[in-house]
Structures are given as structure tokens and as C-alpha cells.
Homo-oligomer: A and B are copies of this chain.
Amino acid sequence: MITRRQALLGAGAVLLGGAVPLFAKQDQTKKTDEQELAKWMDYRKRLDGSGGWPWKPQKISPDMAAKLGYSGFYNSGQGCGYGVFKGLVGQMALKYGKPYDGFPLQMMAYGASGVGNWGTLCGSLNGAAAAFGLFYDRNASTELIDALFHWYETAKIPAFEPSIKKLDFTPQATVPHSTLCHVSVSKWCYETGIEMHSPERSERCARVTADVAKKAAELLNARIAGKPIQSKPSKNQATCMACHDKGKDSDIAKGKMDCGTCHDGHLDSKFSDHP
């Protein structure tokens, strides 16, 4: 026989995402627990699926994604995260209207310059990943994110050539070797000798925004068409994960970034010897 408390704990297990044994027993507060759990179950019921998630993705033009990305970057300085998201979801809004035109697109400006100019994740990658998240659950999004991020780490970018230019300057293409804005941008400045605070560097990032929007649109289209999504992890990841992954001697390394950008030792690293 299942008591009310057990049933509620079962509900709580669902609430908090687990399958089996759950909460530490706190016998003296049984009733409070029950009330609290019922409240959280109600919250979850009311919020899950809010906004009609997941949204249905639509096939879009990769070239138009690139153009919307480039112009979106310069759109009142809203930057890379906004640009890519506009190239994907904004394009669907232009072509299909609802529900896409109901998304508050401009919120994505927060992602610019690695989120609030912090230089963490490249904003164009963040914008693309957020768009994937609008259409797919965590596992399916991750497959698309893997393909996009691994591509970015090794791509020679920018490759995009705008038909209408903000600046008459063709930025040198380099390989970022990292998904982080700080590394991607600072390496480009180091290799080209061009200052970080310059219109030329902005033009480089506007074109990278276009490249990422195009690649993300191609991946979305492939996914919609049921084609396989290919990923190629970095060699350095494989080297480190031989010791630091799940079930290994030292299960400690979180993530999939190319380790060699910050760590040297066994790795092929160019910038870790920066003084």
C-alpha cells in the first residue's frame, strides 16, 4: 500500500527529475514536506511546456541567415548573439510569422562579446545554441551544438563576403582554436596585429557572426531533413579524456573545449606559454 506521503515523494521524484530514492528523511517535518512538495509539483505543472515549447523548426536559407547575421551584428550594436539568433529565428519570423515573430529577439543582445563583454562563450555560438534549444530538448540540441562548436574551433574564419559592406576591409581569416570569445578575438588581434578596439576587429566579428549563422542554418536544415549530424572532437580532447573522463583514473575534466588552448604539457599548445 502506498501512503499519501510516499505518493507525494514519488511526485517529488518526478518534480526533481530523479527516478528512484530521493529525499533525505526528515521525520519531524513530514507535513511541511508534503505541503512543500505539492507546491513544487504545482509550479512544475504550470511552467512545463510554457510558451508552447518546443517550437517547430522551419527550413531556412543559410545565405539569408548569414546576411541577417551580418546586418544584425551592426543593428544598434546588438552584436553577435543577436545577429545569429536573428538569422535563424528572425528569418523564420519573416517567412512564417507566428509563433516566431512573437519571440523577444532583442533579448539575445546579452550574448554580445562573450556575454556582456566578458569574453566567455563566443556570442554567435551562444545565439545559435539558444535557437537550437527553442526547437529541441537538451540531448538533441547538444548534438547540433557539438557539430557547430567543433566546426568553429577548427574553421578558418571569417569567410563571409558581404554584398553591402559596413567597412571596406577584408579581415584575415584565422583558426579560433577555441569556442571562447576571449581566445577567438585576442588570437585574431595577435595574429593580425590589429587592435581589439577597432572597426576592423568589429568587422571581423560581424563576418564571423555571418559564418556561424550560415553553418547553424545548415545544421538545422540537415536535422529537419533527418540527415546525420557529424561532429569531430579535437585531438587534444581525446588525449586528456583518456585519463580525465568518466570511469578513468581522474574523472575531473568538465567539458569538450580543446584543452590545448589553456593547458600545455602533453598537448600542442601555442598560447599557454603567454607570460
A-to-B contact residues, CB < 8 Å? 12, 15-18, 22-24, 32-33, 36-37, 40, 43-44, 46-55, 67-68, 71, 73-79, 86, 90, 93-94, 101-121, 125-126, 129-130, 132-134, 137-138, 141-142, 145-146, 149, 163-168, 179-182, 185-186, 189-190, 195-198, 246-247, 251-257, 262-266, 272, 274-275
> Could you say how many copies of this chain the assembly holds?
2
Contact A104 B55 (CB under 8 A): yes
Partner among B106, B118, B134, B180 whose Cβ is within 8 Å of the Cβ of A145: B118
Q: Can you sample 13 A-B contacts with CB below 8 Å?
A: A17-B78, A40-B71, A50-B106, A55-B104, A103-B104, A108-B133, A118-B179, A118-B255, A119-B255, A182-B253, A186-B252, A195-B251, A265-B274
**Which residue of B23, B117, B247, B255 contacts A120 across the interface (Cβ within 8 Å)?**
B255
Q: Is the CB of A50 within 8 A of B103?
A: yes
Question: Which residues of chain B have C-beta atoms less than 8 A from A168's C-beta?
Answer: 23-24
The answer to whether A116 and B149 touch across the interface, beta carbons within 8 angstroms, is: yes
- A190 closest partner in B (C-beta): B252
Q: With A17-B77, A253-B182, A255-B120 as given contacts, are A51 and B105 in contact (CB-CB < 8 Å)?
A: yes
Decide if B24 touches A75 in the complex (CB within 8 Å). Answer: no
A251 touches B196 (CB 8 A): yes
Q: Give which listed residue, B113, B138, B165, B179, contacts A24 with CB less than 8 A.
A: B165
CA distance A49 to B50 in the complex (A): 21
